[in-house]
Chains A and B, each alone.
Chain A
Amino acid sequence: MTSSPMFTPALRSDLLRRELDHDSLIWSPIRPTPAVLDPVATVLLGVIDGMATVADLAQDVEDVVGIERSVAEAQVRRVVTQLDEAGALTTSPPSTHAERQQELFVNPPST
Chain B
Amino acid sequence: MGFLESALEGIARFQKKFALPIIIFVIVITVFLGIGIKDISLQTDLSKEMPQDLPIFKLNDKISDTFGGQDTVILLFQIEDSLDKRSITDIRHPYVIQSLIVLEDLLNKESSIDSVTSAASSFRGKYFITTDHVRSILESKPAAQAFFSKDYKATLMYIRADVGSSEAKIKSLAKLVKDNLNTVPGIPGVKITITGNPPMRAVIGTLLSHDAFYTLSLAALIILLLLFVMEKSITKGFLVFAPLLIGLIWTLGTMGWIGIPLSIATAGLGAMVLGLGVEYGVFMLARYKEERDKGNNQEQSLLVAVPSVGGAIFGSGTTTIVGFLALTLSTLPMMQKLGLSLALGITFTLISAIFFAPAIILLEEDFEFWYTHHKHKQIVAKKENHLRNER
Whether chain B is bound by chain A comes out as: no
| Interface residues, chain A, with chain B CB atoms under 8 Å away | none
